[in-house]
Amino acid sequence: MTRVLGIEGTAWAASAALFDSGDDRCFIESDPYQPESGGIHPREAAEHMRGAIPRVVETALEHARETHEGDGGVDAVAFSRGPGLGPCLRIVGTAARALAQRLDVPLVGVNHMVAHLEIGRHRSGFEDPICLNASGANAHVLAYRNGRYRVVGETMDTGVGNAIDKFTRHLDWTHPGGPKVEQAAKDGEYVDLPYVVKGMDFSFSGIMSAAKQAVDDGVPVEDVCFSLQENIFGMLTEVAERALSLTGSEELVLGGGVGQNGRLREMLGAMCEARGAEFYAPEPRFLRDNAGMIAVLGATMYEAGDTVAVEDSRVLPDFRPDKVAVSWRAANPPARRVDATEVRGAEALVDIGPERVTKRRRPKSYRHPALDERLRAERTRSEARLTSDARRQGVPTPVVFDVDDVEATLTFETVGERDLRERLDERGVRDVGRHLAALHRASLVHGDPTPRNVRVDGGRTHLVDFGLGYYSEDVEDHAMDLHVFEQSLAGTADDADALRAAFEDAYRERGDEAVVAQLREVEGRGRYQ
Ligand SMILES: C[C@@H](O)[C@H](NC(=O)OP(=O)(O)OC[C@H]1O[C@@H](n2cnc3c(N)ncnc32)[C@H](O)[C@@H]1O)C(=O)O
Ligand SMILES: Nc1ncnc2c1ncn2[C@@H]1O[C@H](COP(=O)(O)OP(=O)(O)OP(=O)(O)O)[C@@H](O)[C@H]1O
Ligand SMILES: [Fe+2]
């Protein structure tokens, strides 16, 4: 039995909690910062923390004393080390250190984003889920592998909540905007807006500008809100499904404040049900920022001996979840079973015969029918065209026998004996590097190069699944292809670093060095804004 006092205060929620692993109860006391106007002002938020953190901590301590004889029986103090706003984090860090010393107990430094996902894992009891974190400053899909949570997909610009909040600031609505958009969407009808998914990455800037423009052009606000939700939550649900498909996981957990949205939860639930996966979303008090999740993960870390000395406990405003050395899970989860002849990809049902493969993009019940029809038709058409164009550039791809864009069905030649994912080796990833370079030279972008979309046999390495492909000469688009491939290596291979190096090396043989330089830029982008 462990009792941990947790403290949270990365941005807006000043919160303290007491978690007792003996009865699994969690007491949470929170005091939110509400900006007078506009979004979160870092200095005002820190000012709020300065007053509110001591108050919520005292309340949690009182609760500890009421539920335990003596001084409350607290075994450790856990705090959010990052990511978050520097000035807020420092106040939390100082409070946590002082409290740990006062109680004479160890300190546990928790990654806030890992806490958002671990609370779902803890409460669902799922062994090895894929995690979708949909919060204010972040949006990413994580998969556990070899001692770390790997980011297999994420936003290329702002977090999902921040994107929505910026849109509502344009409407002069007060912060936070998410719940107001959800309310307004109830009376809306669908209008077309951009939809951007690249492998398991995605971006919001295009759709947010289009949404603001639509409002300025007189499209009813409730229609824009409705369509915004349909598209951005559709994108998040699609990438979550891609991650399930890539890793073979059959469990999904949701985390983060945007997870309070009923439509997002409905879409994720429907997606999981359709593919026979299990879905879990924690209750709202554990979704929005709260110290409960910090205390719960803090207890797990404490039990694993994962504490931090006061002198090493500085806060980390850019603390990415994949930087956490996970001390509380076995290095690798039990192996997952893989494929038969009928494959359920993320997008399609694929029937693999000895000579022919039929790929049907069946309607997705979670998507709005208008969006669903548009995506299935567009992707079927581009897949047919790009698969053929790539072959003409000398990149091995299957022959396209037939296209039916009404039924969203394609028939291909069967290629390869197995997916590259089944045995990820250097030769295979080198081939992918060379093939992508050849595509890019011809201004073709694959759009979804993962080890599942590569078929291998004795002599050749084929690329399949060009459904997200398009034409572009932009180095950023080419770099995204490399980024998608490398991210999926991190999520599926144990020796990802060596494979990444071999892949880039092969890409350089034929490709443009500027693309590799741009890849570094993409990777280094600070996304907590
Ligand atoms: C680093 C940390 O400070 C940050 N925290 C954070 O963003 O707070 P969180 O509680 O996870 O999420 C807040 C966001 O959640 C959105 N939100 C709240 N209720 C919503 C709803 N019903 N629908 C959509 N969005 C909602 C808000 O608009 C706001 O953007 C994070 O986790 O990224
Ligand atoms: N022409 C082909 N020859 C042999 N196998 C194929 C062929 N096309 C697809 N496959 C196999 O079927 C699987 C799913 O196909 P595909 O990737 O096109 O579907 P998807 O639904 O888009 O999947 P995802 O989005 O998860 O990548 C591939 O991973 C591959 O193993
Ligand atoms: Fe958060």
Q: Whose CA is nearest to atom 19 of ligand 2?
A: 345
The answer to whether the CB of 241 is under 6 A from ligand 2 is no
Mutate to test the pocket of ligand 2, among 238, 350, 409, 450 (most ligand atoms within 8 A of CB): 350
Mutate to test the pocket of ligand 1, among 133, 174, 258, 318 (most ligand atoms within 8 A of CB): 258
Among all bound ligands, the one having the nearest atom to the CA of 134 is 1
Which atom in ligand 2 lies closest to the alpha carbon of residue 452? 29
Mean pLDDT, residues 243-254 taken together: 94
Which atom in ligand 1 lies closest to the alpha carbon of residue 82? 1
128-160 tens-digit pLDDT: 999 999 999 999 999 999 999 999 999 999 999
How many angstroms separate the alpha carbon of residue 161 from the centre of ligand 1? 5
Mutate to test the pocket of ligand 1, among 204, 289, 297 (most ligand atoms within 8 A of CB): 289
Mutate to test the pocket of ligand 2, among 455, 461, 462 (most ligand atoms within 8 A of CB): 455
Backbone φ and ψ of 397, nearest 5°: -145, 165
Asked if residues 27 and 60 have their Cβ atoms less than 8 Å apart, the reply is: yes
For residue 529, the model assigns a pLDDT of 40
User: How are strands ordered across the β-sheet holding 356-360?
Assistant: 342-344, 349-352, 356-360, 409-413, 400-404
Residue 325 has pLDDT above 90, yes or no: yes
**In which band, very low, low, confident or very high, does the pLDDT at 357 lie, cut at 50, 70 and 90?**
very high
How many angstroms separate the alpha carbon of residue 289 from the centre of ligand 3? 5
Query: What is the complex's ipTM, to 2 decimals?
Result: 0.95
Q: Is 186 exposed, middle or buried (0-12, 13-18, 19+ CB in 10 A)?
A: exposed
**In which band, very low, low, confident or very high, does the pLDDT at 525 lie, cut at 50, 70 and 90?**
confident
Return binding residues for ATP: 359
Residue 328 has pLDDT above 70, yes or no: yes
Taking the C-alpha atoms of residue 411 and residue 356, their distance in angstroms, rounded to an integer, is: 7
Percent of the chain topping pLDDT 70: 98
For residue 239, the model assigns a pLDDT of 97
14-43 tens-digit pLDDT: 999 999 999 999 999 999 999 988 899 999
Taking the C-alpha atoms of residue 488 and residue 288, their distance in angstroms, rounded to an integer, is: 28
Return binding residues for Fe cation: 112, 116, 289
Residue 528 has pLDDT above 60, yes or no: no
Domains, the chain, in order of start with CATH, read 3-118+287-323 (3.30.420.40), 124-284 (3.30.420.40), 342-413 (3.30.200.20), 418-524 (1.10.510.10)
> Which residues lie with the beta carbon below 6 Å from any ligand 1 atom?
10-11, 83-84, 112, 116, 135-138, 159, 161-162, 164-165, 176-179, 182, 256-258, 260-261, 288-289
One-letter amino acid at 189 equals E
Residue 436 has pLDDT above 90, yes or no: yes
Q: Whose CA is nearest to atom 24 of ligand 1?
A: 178
Among the listed residues 262, 204, 205, the one whose alpha carbon sits nearest the alpha carbon of residue 235:
204
How many angstroms separate the alpha carbon of residue 135 from the centre of ligand 1? 4
Measuring CA to CA, how many Å separate 390 from each of 10, 137, 412? 47, 38, 14
Identify any residues that bridge with 85 across adjacent strands, giving them in sequence order: none
Assign residue 76 a region: left if phi > 0, alpha if psi is -120 to 50, beta otherwise?
A: beta
The alpha-helical segments, DSSP class H, found in 28-177 are 42-66, 86-103, 112-124, 160-170
The DSSP element (H or E) to which 239 belongs, if any, is helix 221-247
Q: At 287, is the secondary structure helix, strand, or coil?
A: helix
Least confident window among 59-63, 89-93, 114-118, 244-248: 244-248
Measuring CA to CA, how many Å separate 2 from each of 100, 295, 301, 302? 15, 10, 11, 8
Which atom in ligand 1 lies closest to the alpha carbon of residue 85? 3
Q: Give me the chain's average pLDDT, please.
A: 95
Residue 337 has pLDDT above 70, yes or no: no
Taking the C-alpha atoms of residue 324 and residue 501, their distance in angstroms, rounded to an integer, is: 22
Return binding residues: 112, 116, 133-137, 165, 178, 182, 261, 289, 359
Among the listed residues 444, 472, 496, 413, the one whose alpha carbon sits nearest the alpha carbon of residue 152:
496
How many angstroms separate the alpha carbon of residue 275 from the centre of ligand 2? 16
Asked if residues 415 and 396 have their Cβ atoms less than 8 Å apart, the reply is: yes
Asked if residues 295 and 96 have their Cβ atoms less than 8 Å apart, the reply is: no
The answer to whether the CB of 419 is under 6 A from ligand 2 is yes
Among all bound ligands, the one having the nearest atom to the CA of 10 is 1
Mean pLDDT, residues 417-439 taken together: 95
Mean pLDDT, residues 102-119 taken together: 98
Query: Active-site residue numbers?
Result: 448
Q: Whose CA is nearest to atom 8 of ligand 2?
A: 464
Q: What's the farthest any 2 CA atoms get from each other in the chain?
A: 77
Our measurement of the distance from residue 455's CA atom to the centroid of its chain's CA atoms, rounded to an integer in Å, reads: 26
Taking the C-alpha atoms of residue 162 and residue 138, their distance in angstroms, rounded to an integer, is: 8
Asked if residues 26 and 66 have their Cβ atoms less than 8 Å apart, the reply is: no
**In which band, very low, low, confident or very high, does the pLDDT at 334 lie, cut at 50, 70 and 90?**
confident
Which atom in ligand 1 lies closest to the alpha carbon of residue 116? 32
164-173 tens-digit pLDDT: 999 999 999 9
Among all bound ligands, the one having the nearest atom to the CA of 184 is 1
How many angstroms separate the alpha carbon of residue 311 from the centre of ligand 1? 31
As a three-state string, the secondary structure of 424-491 is CCHHHHHHHHHHHHHHHHCCEECCCCCHHHEEECCCCEEECCCCCCEECCCHHHHHHHHHHHHHHHHH
Measuring CA to CA, how many Å separate 338 from each of 77, 248, 249? 42, 7, 10
**In which band, very low, low, confident or very high, does the pLDDT at 480 lie, cut at 50, 70 and 90?**
very high
**In which band, very low, low, confident or very high, does the pLDDT at 332 lie, cut at 50, 70 and 90?**
confident
Mean pLDDT, residues 78-98 taken together: 98
**In which band, very low, low, confident or very high, does the pLDDT at 497 lie, cut at 50, 70 and 90?**
very high
Percent of the chain topping pLDDT 90: 91
Measuring CA to CA, how many Å separate 488 from each of 243, 301, 507? 9, 27, 17
How many angstroms separate the alpha carbon of residue 14 from the centre of ligand 3? 12
Residue 526 has pLDDT above 70, yes or no: no
